[in-house]
Amino acid sequence: MFGKISDNVCTLIFTFNNMGIDKDIQQENFRSIYQKLSINLIFSTNWITEKIKNILQEEDITPQQYNILRILRGSKKPLSTLQIRERMLDKMSDTSRIVERLVKKELVEKKTSNIDKRLVDVSIAESGLELLKRLDQKNDELDAILQNLSPEEAAGLSDLLDKMREKI
């Protein structure tokens, strides 16, 4: 770390050892360790998402569709699109559009709600359950994406990420 005074303004520029994110994005200097962390989180999210997409691509399914199928499988009853959206990993997803694609693929079923005719109830179809069973067989492949971490490191990192979001 070194300081630089320019126009009576002190700017700290942090220089970190040249490994990891530094090499991946070819950037040696970061405004702060928090900027480096933010960039690393974004880069790592994109990296892991791409790895997961490659595995799901074999079944012609997107991560968002996979997420919805897993939500529906875990639910004891049909869910509205609003309930699905609340449980999704990506809250910005267009849940209705994704559900429609899953209906076209015959992986989910949609029916008008008995309670509120303005809503639809979505449930997983047998073919959706079969697809998830095939993908469950790839759990080791999904877990292997993070096998550079020990189980203790993975648990610690997960705890740190939870702690980071607590403040927000």
pLDDT tens-digit readout, 13-69: 333 344 587 788 778 888 989 988 998 999 999 999 999 999 999 999 999 999 999
Q: In the chain, pLDDT over 70 holds for what percent of residues?
A: 88
pLDDT tens-digit readout, 74-93: 998 999 999 999 999 888 77
Instruction: Report the helix count and the strand count for the chain, using DSSP H and E.
Output: 8, 5
Residue 3 DSSP SS3: strand
pLDDT tens-digit readout, 102-150: 999 999 999 988 888 888 899 999 999 999 999 999 988 888 889 899 9
In the DSSP assignment, the letter for residue 85 is: H
What does pTM read for this prediction? 0.77
* DSSP symbols for 93-142: S-HHHHHHHHHHTTSEEEEE-SS-TTSEEEEE-HHHHHHHHHHHTTHHHH
Please state whether 75 falls in left (phi above 0), alpha (psi between -120 and 50) or beta: beta
